[in-house]
Each structure stands twice: as structure tokens, then as C-alpha cells.
Amino acid sequence: MLAFFRRSIIIGVVTAVALLALFPDLRTQMIDTPVNLVPLEPSTQAQVSFNYAVRRASPAVVNIYNRRYNAEDRLKLSTQGLGSGVIMSDKGYIVTNYHVVAEADQVIVALQDGRILTAQLIGKDQRTDLAVLKIQAENLPVIPLSPQYKPAVGDVVLAIGNPYNLGQTTTYGIISATGRAGMSFYGRQDFLQTDAAINEGNSGGALVNTRGELVGINTASFQQATDIETYGISFAIPYELTHKIMNKLIADGRVIRGYIGIEARDINPVMARLYDAEQISGIIVMGMDPNGPAAKAGFKVQDILIEVAGKRVTDRRNVLDIVTELRPGTEVEMKVLRNGQPTSLNVLIGDEPADY
């Protein structure tokens, strides 16, 4: 057995020597064979980041401090509240919420570049919870605007503001719903609903899209407005309405709205048949201000309003939008169906009462 192993070893050594003699390149390959390490390729998947949007929008979002005179010392001002605002033009106009500055004796604006300025209140509108301030300063950052952008459910949005005075903070979410009407805590306008976190101090700040363009003005979370413990339900005033109200406040110091003084309900096909009316688009007058423009023009309960100033009526919201845009003192033609018959009435538009 031992002789067998010895013979095998000798044969192996002789064979190896013969191979090395015949193929000398094998000697260098055995000694210096390199190890080919394949470098890992960097990931081709782009990192998701909203840094571009934040860098574009955040300089134009300011911190707002509401100061009031001390009841015991009229010469002493103390900070009573805080919020946020958005610089809308290089002329120094800032939009914020009505409730942020409604009770303020003095408003202080802090810019992100460190400047601290006293702001002038240009006007405020409780109905839409909007107010306009003005500061005197040069080289102001202005929020990017895109009137062509139309917010849609599922769009990613960022809420920028100063929650709890921690300093500027950005939260992230999507638009959960558009056209949220009938919110009892502010007016009758439509809101954007988002799940981006909006806390105390965020009010009046910017809601922007992933390009940093203004989508709306943050107003409140559902919890803040109702004291119901909820999460992921917050509201913002759409840019389109914000821009319109801002221009009205700059022009007149208040929002002048047309008024006709009717109470109505939407009409549907079933109700149209009950009222013997082929026209199914309109609203039914259920009541009136006895001293209002509609009553003076000859409106009657159960009239079906179908046209205002040449514009077809679709529902109560549509009528409200048309009438509020009419200048008080303007006379317009309105068409109604009365007992199934068309009738025209000339209505002198009034000025909406402050408590309406």
C-alpha cells in the first residue's frame, strides 16, 4: 500500500515538472493571477426629494407675530399669537389668514433672511379667512405662481410654515379632496383638503406643489377647527380664490360683494315636475330678505331662478358666485319661472351686509 502511494506521488511530481517545462507561462499565472473584482454600479433609481420645491418657495414664507397692547399698560405691547404668511409680490404684499391678525394691534413679520419688519394691515375678510399685509423692504423673495396649475386629488403638496414657533418647517402629503364646501368654521368657499400636517402657527403659510408653486394658503386642521381629535385632515384656501380676494382687499380695503337677499334650494328633476317646470336647471326661492333687492324687484317664494345677468343658473353655489362678483348699484336682468311661465325681473344689486 505504501509503495502504491509513493509511486502516485512521484508520477504526479514528474508530470507537473514536465508541464512547467513545456508551458512556462503557467508558472507566472500560478503566482500572479489577479482577482477581477467587478465594481458595484451606483443605483440608477433617482432619489425622491422635494428640495427644489422647498428652495424655491420657502424664502417667501414668513413668520407673523400678532402683538396686542397690555390691558393694564397701554404703552406695553405683548405677543399674543403667531402664524405664517406668504409674500405675493415684490411690492411687499403678504397674504395670511384673517384669524392670525384679526385682533392684532401690531403685526411683526420675520423673513427667513433675518429681517424683522412691522407690517401695515391693508385689509381683511372674515368670510374667506384671508388678510393682506404690506411691508416696506427691498429685494423681497416672491412665491412662485402658476395660474395654469389646477390642483387635483392625488397631487403631492408641501405645507410650509412656522408651527408652534419652532422655526420654518415643511410637511408633506397629497391633496385629498378639492371643492370642500360648507365648512362651518369659515365662510362658504370651497377648500382644498390635504393630509399634510398643519399645526398652530402654520396658518397663513404656503401650500405648494413639487415645483414650489403656490397651490393655496394653509388655514386649519379639522381638529383645530372642531376640537375633534383627527389626523390627516387639513384645509387650504385655493390660490385662485386667494388671488381674487387679495386684489379686492388691495383695491378697496375690504371685499365688496353683491347681494340680492334670497334663500333658495337646488332644484332636481323630480322637483321640476312638481313645480310643472320643464327647466330642471335652477334654484327655487324659499324665502327672502323683506327689504332686500330681490323682494323689491318682485321676486316671490317658489319662483325658480334660471338666469342671472345672462348667465345660466345651475345651483346655489353658482348663483352665489355670480351675484357676489356683481358691483353693488348695478341693475341686472334675472329670469325666473313662475307657475311654469318665464318672467324677467330687473334687480338692483345691493351691498352684502357685514353679518350675512
CB 242 within 8 A of CB 250: no
Q: Which of these is catalytic: 58, 84, 125, 129?
A: 129
Q: Which of these is catalytic: 203, 221, 234, 303?
A: 203
Residue 6 falls inside a structural domain? no
Residue 40 falls inside a structural domain? no
Residue 78 has pLDDT above 90, yes or no: no
Distance CA 191, CA 332 (A): 30
Is 303 catalytic? The answer is no
* Domain co-membership, 183 together with 316: no
CB 286 within 8 A of CB 264: yes
Domain termination residue (choose one: 224, 254, 284): 254
Using DSSP's 3-state secondary structure scheme, residue 55 falls into helix
* Count of structural domains within the chain: 2
* Domain co-membership, 229 together with 293: no
Q: Kindly give the pairing relationship between strand 304-308 and strand 331-338.
A: antiparallel
> Which has the higher per-residue pLDDT, 337 or 79?
337
How is residue 80 written as a grid cell? 399674543
Question: For residue range 264-287, what is the model confidence (pLDDT) as tens digits?
Answer: 888 766 666 666 555 567 889 999
Give residue 334's domain range.
258-351
CB 217 within 8 A of CB 95: yes
Q: Give helix 2-22 / helix 25-32 axis angle, nearest 10°.
A: 100
SS (H, E, C) 25-80: HHHHHHHHCCCCCCCCCCCCCCCCCCHHHHHHHHHHEEEEEEEEECCCCCCCEEEE
* Domain co-membership, 130 together with 169: yes
* Domain co-membership, 209 together with 75: yes
Question: For residue range 117-128, what is the model confidence (pLDDT) as tens digits?
Answer: 999 999 999 888
Domain termination residue (choose one: 233, 254, 275): 254
* Domain co-membership, 94 together with 233: yes
Domain termination residue (choose one: 254, 270, 289): 254
Question: For residue range 288-316, what is the model confidence (pLDDT) as tens digits?
Answer: 999 999 999 999 999 989 899 989 988 88
pLDDT for 317: 81
In terms of C-beta density within 10 A (0-12 exposed, 13-18 middle, 19 or more buried), how is residue 242 classed? buried
* Domain co-membership, 237 together with 262: no
CB 283 within 8 A of CB 313: yes
Question: For residue range 128-184, what is the model confidence (pLDDT) as tens digits?
Answer: 899 999 999 999 999 999 989 999 999 999 999 999 888 899 999 999 988 766 444
Q: Is 0.85 surpassed by the pTM of this model?
A: no
* Domain co-membership, 227 together with 340: no
Q: Which residues contact 268 (CB under 8 A, 6 or more apart)?
A: 280
* Domain co-membership, 299 together with 192: no
Q: Which residues are annotated as a binding site?
A: 260-265
- The average confidence (pLDDT) of the chain is 82
In terms of C-beta density within 10 A (0-12 exposed, 13-18 middle, 19 or more buried), how is residue 68 classed? middle
pLDDT for 42: 58
Question: For residue range 313-324, what is the model confidence (pLDDT) as tens digits?
Answer: 888 888 888 898
Is 203 catalytic? The answer is yes
Q: What is the CATH number of the domain that holds 274?
A: 2.30.42.10
Residue 334 falls inside a structural domain? yes
Q: Which residues are annotated as a binding site for substrate?
A: 260-265
Angle made by CA atoms 254, 223, 317, in degrees to the nearest 5: 45
* Domain co-membership, 240 together with 269: no
Is 243 catalytic? The answer is no
